[in-house]
Amino acid sequence: MSGISGIAVARLSEERKAWRKDHPFGFVAKPTKNADGTLNLMVWECAIPGKKATPWEGGVYNLRMIFKDDYPSSPPKCKFEPPLFHPNVYPSGTVCLSLLDEDKDWRPAVTIKQILLGIQDLLNDPNIKDPAQAEGILNLHAKSNRLRQESPDSGQGSRTEKLTRNLMNIVLFLVLARSINIMRALESD
């Protein structure tokens, strides 16, 4: 084990202790086990509950955190398993979040708890300025623009806004329904 990997393992051991003492209700974060039964602190299985009063409420979203040997200098890779359809989640399931980007908001002091809470917030409040699935965002934006162009300008601004909001709600509902169906299928296996 190299010195940097030793630092990563020591930090992750501390993270595990802190998590076991205090973590948000409904969240799960635990290291995986190696074939021999020992803990693999470099890969964690996590679960994020959907936030109350959002379309994500009632769901539990499984995520894998993969830490590099130079953690905490570099952020973990966070990947939804199975992948979610979300503007800030790549088709592979990898989360696109500034908090997880070395060139943006990542700091070595960021905790696993902060990462999971940040991802939970991202689910209902996507960053459309930095999409992982640009094609989906562009399609949604094009539909929104088409609705605006088709609506007469004579006092119909609120109608256009309402249609756009409804379209966004439909997309969120479809994402949630797909995620729930995938979860049910996995549970029945």
Catalytic positions are 96
Tokens found for residue 185:
């299928």
Alpha-carbon gap, residue 101 to 112, rounded angstroms: 14
Maximal CA-CA distance, the chain: 70
Lookup: tokens for 105: 């908001």
- Can you say how many angstroms the Cα of residue 9 is from the centroid of all Cα atoms in its chain? 24
